[in-house]
């Protein structure tokens, strides 16, 4: 298991955190709920490093890759859907 910071210094660190979280899940070192919690936490606290003009930044796209960002999208959409259903 690795340490998840609340706030990251730059886009490279955010990409590494996302990659480590998802890779840990793929290796069965982390369960679904923990991976989802960590991705939401990273995205919520570092959105300015993750997104620009409604899309992922170029560096995030290059470092994380399509498959990982598909997973992040699904997690964030799941979060939005749950919030709409609750509110």
Three-state SS for the chain is CCCCCCCCCCHHHHHHHHHHHHHHHHCCCCCHHHHHHHHHHHHHHCHHHHEECCEECHHHHHHHHHHHHHHHHHHHHHHHHHHHHHC
Per the structure, the count of domains in the chain is 1
Q: Residue 29 falls within a domain, yes or no?
A: yes
Average pLDDT for consecutive 10-residue bins of the chain (87 residues)?
Answer: 81 97 96 95 95 95 98 86 62
Q: Residue 6 falls within a domain, yes or no?
A: no
Q: Residue 3 falls within a domain, yes or no?
A: no
Domain that holds residue 77: 11-86
Q: Residue 5 falls within a domain, yes or no?
A: no
Q: Residue 34 falls within a domain, yes or no?
A: yes
Q: Residue 26 falls within a domain, yes or no?
A: yes
pLDDT of residue 75: 95
């Amino acid at each position: 298991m690795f340490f998840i910071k609340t706030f990251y210094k730059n886009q490279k660190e955010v990409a590494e955190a996302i990659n480590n979280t998802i890779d840990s899940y793929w290796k069965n070192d982390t369960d679904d709920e923990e991976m989802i919690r960590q991705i939401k936490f990273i995205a919520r606290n570092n959105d300015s490093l993750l997104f620009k003009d409604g899309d992922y930044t170029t560096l995030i796209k290059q470092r994380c890759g399509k498959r990982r960002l598909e997973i992040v999208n699904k997690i964030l959409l799941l979060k939005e859907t749950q919030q709409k259903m609750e509110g």
